[in-house]
C-alpha cells in the first residue's frame, strides 16, 4: 500500500509541475507580447485548443507586474515535459526578436 501512496504522490507532483510549466510559458508569452495560444497552435497544429493553457492564461499578470523570465528557462522546462516542438517555437521567436532588436 505504501507504494501506491508514493505513486499517487509522484503523479500529483508531476501534474502540479506541469501546471507550473504551462503558467511559466504563458507568462513568458505575455511578457514578450505574444499570444500563447497562437504559438501553441504553430507547434501543434493538429491538436485541439489546450485547456490547461487557457486556464493558465487566467493566472498571468500584466507584463509590467511580472518578473523577467529567461527564454532558456522556458525552453528547458518545455523540453523536460516533452514539448520539444513548442520549445522550438519559443527559440524561433527569440531569434526573430533578437534579429529585429539588432536592426532597430
Q: Count structural domains, the chain.
A: 1
Domain span at 58: 2-103
pLDDT tens, residue by residue, 43-93: 999 999 999 999 999 999 999 999 999 999 999 999 999 999 999 999 998
Q: What is the mean pLDDT of the chain?
A: 91
Q: What is the pLDDT of residue 74?
A: 97
Closest CA to 29 of 60, 3, 1: 60
Closest CA to 22 of 38, 43, 40, 45: 40
Of 4-18, 28-42, 72-86, least confident by mean pLDDT is 4-18
**DSSP assignment of 1-27:** -HHHHHHHHHHHHHHHHHHHHHHHHHH
HSE on the CB side for 24, CA within 13 Å? 21
Q: Tell me the pTM.
A: 0.86
Amino acid at each position: 500500500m505504501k507504494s501506491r501512496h508514493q505513486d499517487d504522490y509522484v503523479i500529483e507532483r508531476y501534474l502540479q509541475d506541469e501546471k507550473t510549466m504551462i503558467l511559466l510559458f504563458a507568462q513568458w508569452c505575455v511578457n514578450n507580447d505574444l499570444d500563447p495560444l497562437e504559438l501553441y497552435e504553430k507547434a501543434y497544429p493538429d491538436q485541439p485548443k489546450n485547456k490547461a493553457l487557457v486556464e493558465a492564461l487566467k493566472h498571468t499578470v500584466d507584463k509590467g507586474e511580472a518578473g523577467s523570465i529567461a527564454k532558456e528557462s522556458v525552453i528547458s522546462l518545455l523540453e523536460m515535459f516533452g514539448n520539444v516542438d513548442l520549445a522550438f517555437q519559443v527559440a524561433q521567436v527569440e531569434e526573430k526578436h533578437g534579429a529585429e532588436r539588432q536592426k532597430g
